[in-house]
Amino acid sequence: MGGMADTQQAETTADAAAGATADKRTGRRTDRLAKQIRAFADAHGGSAEGQLAHIGRGRTRIALVGGDGAWGNLVADSFDSAKDAATRAGITLQDDFDGDLAARVRTGRYEWSRMAGIQVGGPANT
């Protein structure tokens, strides 16, 4: 019976080590996201606001709007990771991507042509 307890202890230690490795990996990804968010803010007027949205399979989209109206998206492995990265980057998070936040988005010719598609002189749908 003593051998069984030793085996269970070894499995628990291995599980703990695997969990610690996963936590480190998640931490590095969150650090990377925070740096990317901060770089976006710095490149677009020195500030940014964001909104988090679940996109499926546990992943979360971070929609960003810079101080100059530029916008972009990043994807995090979890909602908690996305929120932590945004907090570390020092951006304000909004509950919804509408109203004032959406009004600040500035789009260029490329976005308008992509949104318009065939309706307004876009490529023919043949």
Tell me: pLDDT of 26 over 60.
yes
H helix intervals, 1-126? 2-43, 79-89, 100-103, 109-116
Give the pLDDT score at 25.
84
Tell me: pLDDT of 10 over 70.
no
pTM confidence score: 0.72
68 within 8 A of 45, measured Cβ to Cβ:
yes
Q: What is the DSSP letter of 44?
A: T
Cα–Cα distance for residue pair 110/125, rounded to 1 Å: 18
Give the pLDDT score at 110.
75
DSSP E strand boundaries for 39-84: 48-56, 59-66, 71-76
Tell me: pLDDT of 47 over 60.
yes
Cα–Cα distance for residue pair 31/88, rounded to 1 Å: 8
| 69-121 pLDDT per residue, tens | 999 999 999 999 999 999 999 999 999 998 889 999 998 877 777 766 555 55
Give the pLDDT score at 43.
96
